[in-house]
Amino acid sequence: MTMDERILARLAPARRDGGLRIAGKYVWCGTVMRAADRWHLFSSVWPEREAPERYDAVELLQNYWCLSTIVHAVADQPEGPYTPLEVVLEGRGGDHWIHECCHNPCLVRAGDTYVLYFQTKGRAHDDRYIGYATASSLNGPWTLADAPLSLGYNVNNPAVWVEPDGAVRIIYRTPGMKLAVAVAPAYDAPYQILTDDLLPGVSLEDPFLYRLGGRYHLLVEDNRAQLTGDLRHGAHLVSDDGVRFELFEPEPKAYTHTIAWTDGGVTTVTRRERPWLILDAEGPTHLVTGVLAGGEAWSVVQPLAGSH
């Protein structure tokens, strides 16, 4: 049976107690993988703001710039709830290339190696990089690369796909809400930038890249409602070559800001971003997003109907 490539039409109710919540912390940017019959979630986590009423919905989470860490959590099923175990990456200060903040985790597997891509920040405000750490087990230990990737200045939001031969394709955000595409013959080889503006004239961020049905698929946040007609909703793009993308038909919208729960309730959240799909051999089974509602930010894992 051919996998239904749509996302929005397949979204099923989520568990209210699922995903990952941590008291007193903002939780964002979830990336999930299964190993040894357990589900492993790596998320950006940082302290809630004092006097949160002073900030609007965008400013509220912006203290991640200096404070975000990447936390490892586990669960017995993909929906969770996830139990946090430890901080696996955090800023090291001094002259280290992860001087301040570790954010935007993206977990992939290259052969027998787990590769955890992430965004970090140097001393200057806009001095953001993408780097990675590696491990032979999702329980670590994680070994940092010697330096960040050479992908340009002020880059973030890594989305990575590893081909069967080990080659890597990465889509990431650059200044001006543009998306760039780069490739490398392996995760630890030099990267070649193929384009620095994937969809000219359109403001996009938060990509998630995968292959299905012989094509590349890309979920993105429609930052200015240019693709979906709704501000910051999810858009679904496809490409034959991984460089030139167009809207997926018949369903170009991937998700909205409204989430149905298994108890029959519905919540429209203030922000819903950083999409990640849990994939099995046939395609996507769950959508993972960071959400903000009522001043709380947490990771939601929403099943897709028709998954095996």
38 domain-assigned: yes
33 domain-assigned: yes
Task: Give the integer Cα–Cα distance in Å for 305 and 15.
Answer: 14
**pLDDT beneath 70: ranges in the chain:** 1, 308
pLDDT in tens, 256-273: 999 999 999 999 999 999
Alpha-carbon torsion 233, 238, 241, 245, what sign?
Answer: negative
> Domains in the chain: how many in total?
1
2 domain-assigned: no
Q: Which domain holds residue 173?
A: 8-303
308 domain-assigned: no
| pLDDT value at residue 3 | 81
164 domain-assigned: yes
Please return the burial class of 156, using the count of CB atoms within 10 Å of its CB with bins 0-12, 13-18 and 19+. buried
Q: How many CA atoms lie within 13 A of 66 on its CB side?
A: 6
| pLDDT value at residue 1 | 57
Q: pTM for this one?
A: 0.97
Q: Is 86 helix (H, G, I), strand (E, B) or coil?
A: strand
| pLDDT value at residue 122 | 87
Task: Give the integer Cα–Cα distance in Å for 241 and 154.
Answer: 26
pLDDT in tens, 226-258: 999 999 999 999 999 999 999 999 999 999 999
212 domain-assigned: yes
200 domain-assigned: yes
CA 196 to chain centre: 20
User: Any idea of the CA torsion for 208, 210, 216, 217, to the nearest 10 degrees?
Assistant: -50
3 domain-assigned: no
| pLDDT value at residue 308 | 59
| pLDDT value at residue 252 | 98
CATH number at residue 298: 2.115.10.20
pLDDT in tens, 149-191: 999 989 999 999 999 999 999 999 999 999 999 999 999 999 9
Task: Give the integer Cα–Cα distance in Å for 33 and 110.
Answer: 13
